[in-house]
Amino acid sequence: MADQKLLPGDVHRHHLPAAEAAPAPAPAPAPASALVPASAPDGGAPASALVPDGGAPASAPALASTEQSARRRLFGGRLLRRAVTNSTAILLLLAAWEVLPRLGVVDPVFVPPLSENLVAWYDLLVGGQLPEHLEASLARSLSGFGLAIVLAIPLGLLIGWYKPVADFLTPLLELFRNTSAVALLPVFTLILGIGETTKVTFVLYACAWPILLNTISGVKTVEPLLIKSARSMGLGPVRLFQKVILPAAVPTIFTGVRLAGAYSILVLLFAEMVGAKAGLGYLILDTQSSFRIPDMYAGIITISVVGLLFNLLLVGIERRFSTWRTT
């Protein structure tokens, strides 16, 4: 095609020398690092920080896995520190129990070292005496404790929710709540004899009071604003009690249940010291009278461990029924 007409002063590339008439080379691509912004658009870490030296960018799953591992290590460290803090006092007590009798600070005849008591505990366990006594005590304790829950919680809810019932029963409750269960043990023995019924009824009576009183308190101390809000939304008495009163009273009720769990073991020891032929209370009294001191401490250790495990179980159940609460 013919060249276009040139205007004065125009220069065509055909009129230039060969070196100057060659087309200019294309610019080289910019390095990858030059394309990476100095910082992320949202003000976060620069994108180059996500790229290892000389390597490919780290993938999102790898970063998430690293973050989860760091969180697990942090959580595990917190649990370890908490466990050490919570067990320090117990470990110091056990160490003192082992060292002080051996140093003669306390009489080792009446307070043997912990290791001797543990040896006696193991001998009772292997000989079958400890399981027999433990089974008898747990059967009585759990029976009375279970009956106390079944009877005391509904009665406490009834007294706390209906004022006429509370006005009728409160004087009677105030009379018996201040009477020690241990003081009434001879009365239970005279009326019911020295059999299993007396022991279970005695545990039932002792456990019922903390459950009953805490249930009444839990119902009466529900936030009034919650009740007014529920009524303003049209909830009837039954739905109000089911959806508002009962869930709000659960923490206080479980406080009473935990107290009753401790009472169920403690008061049983008194009952088993009167006319019993098996049980941890009988074991402690029998070994004390026959001066088998390490065996006596073995029974005491067993009671302490059972009470601790029972309390931990109740705490776990309380958390299960209180998952709606915010911490």
Q: Note the pLDDT tens digit of each residue in 226-261.
A: 777 877 887 777 778 777 888 888 888 988 998 898
By the 10 Å C-beta count (0-12 exposed, 13-18 middle, 19+ buried), 127 is classed as: exposed
Alpha-carbon distance of 174 to 162, in angstroms, equals 18
* Residue range 60-69, pLDDT digits in tens: 666 667 777 7
Q: Which residue has the higher pLDDT, 325 or 68?
A: 68
* pTM, two decimal places: 0.68
Q: Which residues of 156-194 are buried (b: 16+ CB within 10 A; e: fewer)?
A: bbebbbeeeebeeeeeebeeeeeeebeeebeebbeeeee
pLDDT band at 33 (very low <50, low <70, confident <90, very high): very low
| Contact (CB, 8 A) for 215 and 157 | yes
Structure tokens belonging to residue 66: 């690293």
Highest-pLDDT range among 55-69, 221-235, 280-294: 280-294
Angle (CA) 146 151 152, round 5°:
100
Give the ranges where 52-112 is alpha helix by DSSP (H): 60-103
- How far is 22 from 24, CA to CA, in rounded Å? 6
**With 90 as the cut, is the pLDDT of residue 118 above it?**
yes
First-to-last alpha carbon distance for the chain, in angstroms, is 86
